[in-house]
Structure 1
């Protein structure tokens, strides 16, 4: 593998890992400290409109909060995450089956999603507190496919292409739009932009390589 290919895999995984950490559950203290300390890196050059906008929003959020107590920032993000995605009455349901018109929420569509996981030899981690159509679980599957591609398993590009066509890319744009419209904290607006941009970028890679 060339240096450029290795760097691309590193960048792809770094972005997906960031999104998983941001959306899997309430932000941890470690995640917030790393964010404010500059551990999350943004490209120096333009990538595309959605990613650029997301990086700008995240950079602005970090700049606004870098001198604050990380515990206070973590508390603010935890409250916003809970309001958006947990509830008791969540504003947004971060589940594929909620956004699909061809299946009931948490209904039969779950089996189709899980079949995509199983076909590629992956089982969702038990650590995730939500059903297997939750956004962070689908991103964890995407991460697994990227890792397998990096290890030379080229057939995983085909699994990724099908997963985009049948699942991930079918609902993420609408979900991201809802997050941008509903969020009161710029951090989650940036996360929505980056999520939308990463999914589109990953779909393009899968279409080219499959």
Structure 2
């Protein structure tokens, strides 16, 4: 696989996590999944990515031939139940899972400091606190895009962000989500989030 293909694969993984978790997955995204427009690897990558793509295949099989709008409505109900509330079971925020900080407390400033050090500001359309999984993956996307243009300093920024943030909580988040829902699309995205962080960890280790 050439460098461009590797960058495309990295960005597609990140984008999948963002699409599923930044809000209720929308009809257009669901239609792309159900019509086979989202590529899946043909061979094993790592345990979490493999598990995630297996859940995704299950989601596609369960919903094959259905109206994407109907699927969207069902996903919206489940997304709201488990991650919005009024009393959500799962909060997809780093500071909810970290033992060394309180939810949306001083740990949030640490996340934002990583963004600022790399010269990035979160997109306003996400509407979530900056330690939300979709926001953190949007930052990861920014770093990967900059690496693609030759900005080598972003490799170091990603190394720190993986070690101090993403790798510290995504596994527990995925385990928690697995306990609270049977929806394969959400389970797929949780596994793919963990697997992508592990995949990035390996890539960055090679680049440094």
TM-score by length of 1: 0.96
Aligned-partner Cα distance in 2 for 1:51–1:93 = 22
Runs (4+) of structure 1 exceeding 4 A deviation are none
Aligned-partner Cα distance in 2 for 1:186–1:128 = 23
Q: By how many angstroms is 1:191 displaced?
A: 1.4
Match of 2:41 in 1: 43
Q: By how many angstroms is 1:207 displaced?
A: 2.4
Match of 2:201 in 1: 203
Match of 2:89 in 1: 91
Q: By how many angstroms is 1:46 displaced?
A: 1.5
2:57 equivalent among 56, 59, 80: 59
Match of 1:164 in 2: 162
Aligned residues: 208
Aligned-partner Cα distance in 1 for 2:140–2:158 = 7
Aligned-partner Cα distance in 2 for 1:127–1:54 = 26
2:70 equivalent among 66, 69, 72: 72
Query: 2:108–2:130: 8 Å Cα contact kept in structure 1?
Result: yes
Q: By how many angstroms is 1:208 displaced?
A: 2.5
Query: 2:93–2:133: 8 Å Cα contact kept in structure 1?
Result: yes
Aligned-partner Cα distance in 1 for 2:123–2:131 = 13
Aligned-partner Cα distance in 1 for 2:175–2:159 = 23
Query: Which whole-Å deviations, capped at 9, do the CAs of 1:38-86 have from their partners, x for residues lacking one?
Result: 1111011111222111111101210121111111111111111111110
Q: By how many angstroms is 1:24 displaced?
A: 0.3
The CA RMSD over aligned residues, in Å, is: 1.1
Match of 1:119 in 2: 117
Unmatched 5+ stretches in structure 2 = none
Unmatched 5+ stretches in structure 1 = none
Q: By how many angstroms is 1:184 displaced?
A: 2.3
Aligned-partner Cα distance in 1 for 2:58–2:93 = 28
Query: 1:85–1:92: 8 Å Cα contact kept in structure 2?
Result: yes
